[in-house]
Amino acid sequence: MFLFNSVRINTSTESRIERQVAARLQDPNYLAAQKAFKDGLLLSKLNSTSQREAIKRYETALQLWQKVGDKASQSYAAIRLGQTYSNLGEKQKATQYYNEALKLKRAVGDKNGQVIVLGHIALLERSQGNLDKSYKSIQYAIKLIEDLRRTYTNTDDQSAYFASVQNYYKFNIDLLMELHKKNPTRGYDALALYTSERSQARGLVELLKQAKADICKGIDPSLIEAEERLVSKRDDAETLLSQYLNQPQQPLELIAATQKEITNIIKEQEEVNAKIRAQNPDREKVLKPKLGRDILQLPQIQKLLDKDTVLLEYSLGEERSYLWAVTQNSLSSYVLPGRQQIETAASKFRSGVLIPDSIPPEVIQASNEFSKIILAPVADKLPGKRLVIVGDGALQDVPFAALPDPNQIRNYQPLMLNHEIINLPSASTLAIQRQKLATRPLAPKALAIFADPVYSPTDERVTGKPDNNQLGPELVLQNSDLEKSTKSLKRSGFDRLQGTFTEAQGILNLIPASSRMQAMGFDANYTWATSSEVNQFRIIHFATHGFVNYENPELSGIVLSLVDKKGESIPGYLRLGYLFNLDYPAELIVLSACETGLGKDVSGEGLVGLTRGLMYAGGKRLVVSLWNVNDQGTSVLMQEFYKEMLQQNKTPANALRAAQKKLWENPEWRSPYYWAGFTVQGEWQ
């Protein structure tokens, strides 16, 4: 069921409406209109007879608001009349009132309101079989959404707004797939895939702002100040224009002057943006991904793929979900069950693979059921292919490596036995990354490793006594953030990961001393991790605790040594915001830690977490975890991974697969719990 009545209103718009209401509270007609409208709302929730009565109330409210010249309120009455007539099956009258509401919303410059009305029109047209008209309406609504999204300067409001409009994207995808069913050769399935990319390719932008990341490297601070000032100035002018347009006697001279002011502000913004682009060309691609350039259409996605790769992109909807399988020269699409069924099956599967013991029959059954839902439809496209997964919702934290291969249904065979598996936030993300890193030279040295940090003054490695444990302001802030994060995760501290020392030693033995840097114990600290020396290494490996704060992604981080040799507290929390400011021109970053691949699932943004921060820092590809991995098992897995990569010259994705196969073949480590938690994200070539 698609609902188009819950769009979040911009704070400035909300305040304007409140001011207008307050100014008219003394008008008897206005008060009578308000009462009639509220009565209509109550009646419309009841039976069809009551809905007829509701129509009378809405019509009364509409007429009274016409008397006082309140076009904004008239539009709300018209919307309700359209909804009520639509519920009663009187489609022609519903269309009439929706069109009237759209006209009123345009008259007062209410773009949010236009989006809502266009959604209703699209739904109404679709219910009558007018799919082309429905498509035009929803396309225009999405265009307005894209425009509105850029007007939010507050990160929380921006993310909340985009979450509130996800139904429009999902409706558009569903409509396009219905058009594809009726006209399979018209390319509607490719347009649906493009819409999916449009709705998913933005998480990095909000995360950058939420983490207070410095994405202004190399830019004159005065230009950033000018940019912020002009955004605020334009918002004020557009709010004022909307107020003028909603007055009974419109002040034409003031309207013209305000429109001219907005035009001049836009011109100034363009001039400032041009100067900023000249100083940092990459910034705009991150903050304002361009449709058709930074967000890819089918031919561009296909160019990313080689003959041995198939891209599987998912979109979860309330009633139906979709899967697109893309190769170099083909596109196939599939209808899957609704979100709830997929999420329930995903939860059962994930719970099963977290069992450390041998795989019980009930877990195998749950795994097979889940594989039938999300992989069996595309089974014929998989043999011999590398699988690149763009998940949605619950599918973003599913260990695909442990899913039963749909082509090997007699016995449980994990997907990784026959397939190399890569995860991506979106196909568009990879394209931007490839373009950005195409000419980057390789770092001169092989490996920097951070392992076995010291988290507590009670650690046996602490030999001295603190002289003065008075914390400086920066340390107080970091420890405060760390405390807030750990409290939200119900953790009281961090245990030593002794297996990481063995893990690090095994990896270091594979690298010549002249081409490696090791930061172990006390040296695995914030100072070393943020040192410019780290950008000399092609591989950066963190064998330590890391975690994601689901409610406040900006508090996510990597935990390094928290005390020095005397037991005194030191900065040791490598926060998400800091990651964005680091220069890690690495071919591979490994987070051999807990749940580093996860993040907060903001509707329309995808999972946002540490992985995206490290990608922005320069990581070409990442190896991250999906759950609290076992210390000893991870040590074995990582040593095998590096042997395959460095001694057998395999790509990271292929090396991880080979290491996982070795653990699978060993009875001691056979359970997916020990090996399936790690996944490769980013470039596979």
Q: Output the domain CATH number for residue 547.
A: 3.40.50
227-257 as b/e, with b when 16 or more CB fall inside 10 Å? beebbebbbebbbbbbbbbbeeeeeeeeeee
Q: What is the mean pLDDT of residues 227-234?
A: 79
Assess if residue 287 is contained within a domain.
no
Assess if residue 101 is contained within a domain.
yes
Q: In a 3-state reduction of DSSP, which class is residue 608? A: strand
What is the number of domains present in the chain?
Answer: 4
Compute φ and ψ for 451, nearest 5 degrees: -150, 155
- Cβ burial of 381 (10 Å; 0-12, 13-18, 19+) is middle
Reported as a pLDDT band with limits 50, 70 and 90, residue 652 is: very high
Q: Which residue type, as a one-letter code, is found at position 11? A: T
Contact criterion met (CB below 8 Å) for 439 and 394 = no
Task: Please report, rounded to a whole number, the percentage of residues in the chain having pLDDT higher than 90.
Answer: 32
Is the confidence at residue 11, as pLDDT, over 70? no
Structure tokens at 434: 């490839």
Strands 588-591 and 621-625: parallel
> Which pairs from 659-666 meet CB under 8 Å and 24+ separation?
660/401, 660/414, 660/416, 661/416, 661/417, 663/633, 663/636, 663/637, 664/414, 664/416, 664/417
More confident residue, 276 or 313: 313
Q: Which residues contact 527 (CB under 8 A, 6 or more apart)?
A: 571
471 and 420 together in one domain = no
Could you tell me which of 492, 549, 562, 482 has the C-alpha nearest to residue 521? 562
pLDDT of residue 217: 57
Reported as a pLDDT band with limits 50, 70 and 90, residue 381 is: very high
Assess if residue 165 is contained within a domain.
no
117 and 254 together in one domain = no
231 and 91 together in one domain = no
Reported as a pLDDT band with limits 50, 70 and 90, residue 5 is: low
* DSSP structure string for 115-161: HHHHHHHHHHHHHTT-HHHHHHHHHHHHHHHHHHHTT--SHHHHHHH
527 and 496 together in one domain = yes
pLDDT, one tens digit per residue, over 25-45 is 667 888 888 888 888 888 887
Could you tell me which of 395, 365, 397, 323 has the C-alpha nearest to residue 676? 397
Which residue, of 374, 401, 427, is where some domain finishes? 427
Is the confidence at residue 220, as pLDDT, over 90? no
Is the confidence at residue 402, as pLDDT, over 60? yes
Could you tell me which of 681, 658, 684 has the C-alpha nearest to residue 590? 681
Please give the torsion angle defined by the CA atoms of residues 339, 344, 347 and 348, in that order, rounded to the nearest 10 degrees. Answer: -150
31 and 147 together in one domain = yes
357 and 274 together in one domain = no
Task: Please report, rounded to a whole number, the percentage of residues in the chain having pLDDT higher than 70.
Answer: 79
- In total, the chain counts a number of residues equal to 685
Between helix 71-87 and helix 111-127 the angle, nearest 10°, is 20
Q: What is the mean pLDDT of residues 408-416?
A: 84
Contact criterion met (CB below 8 Å) for 401 and 623 = no
DSSP lists the bridge partners of residue 537 as: 445
263 and 306 together in one domain = no
Contact criterion met (CB below 8 Å) for 513 and 445 = no
559 and 625 together in one domain = yes
Is the confidence at residue 410, as pLDDT, over 60? yes
CA distance 431 to 197: 12
666 and 544 together in one domain = yes
Residue 352, domain extent: 298-427
Q: What is the mean pLDDT of residues 638-658?
A: 92
Considering only 147-156, 226-235, 367-376, which range has the smallest mean pLDDT? Answer: 147-156
Which residue, of 132, 151, 170, is where some domain finishes? 151
Assess if residue 169 is contained within a domain.
no
pLDDT of residue 600: 40
595 and 529 together in one domain = yes
Reported as a pLDDT band with limits 50, 70 and 90, residue 203 is: very low
Assess if residue 33 is contained within a domain.
yes
pLDDT, one tens digit per residue, over 451-475 is 889 988 888 889 876 655 554 444 4
Assess if residue 177 is contained within a domain.
no
Considering only 67-81, 298-312, 518-532, 539-553, which range has the smallest mean pLDDT? Answer: 539-553
CA distance 346 to 321: 14
CA distance 668 to 465: 42
Q: Output the domain CATH number for residue 55.
A: 1.25.40.10
Could you tell me which of 97, 247, 210 has the C-alpha nearest to residue 548? 210
Contact criterion met (CB below 8 Å) for 255 and 241 = yes
pLDDT of residue 164: 73
CA distance 328 to 350: 31
Distance from the Cα of residue 52 to its chain's centroid: 43
Assess if residue 212 is contained within a domain.
no
The helix or strand, by DSSP H or E, that contains position 251, with its residue range, turns out to be none
pLDDT of residue 607: 36
How are strands ordered across the β-sheet holding 557-559?
545-547, 557-559, 573-575
376 and 271 together in one domain = no
pLDDT, one tens digit per residue, over 127-138 is 999 999 999 999
Highest mean pLDDT among 197-206, 232-241, 524-533, 596-605: 524-533
Structure tokens at 454: 């010291």
Compute φ and ψ for 285, nearest 5 degrees: -65, -35
DSSP 394: G
Compute φ and ψ for 309, nearest 5 degrees: -125, 140
Assess if residue 45 is contained within a domain.
yes
Reported as a pLDDT band with limits 50, 70 and 90, residue 192 is: very high
* Cα maximum dimension of the chain: 86
Average of per-residue pLDDT values in the chain: 80
CA distance 366 to 346: 9
353 and 251 together in one domain = no
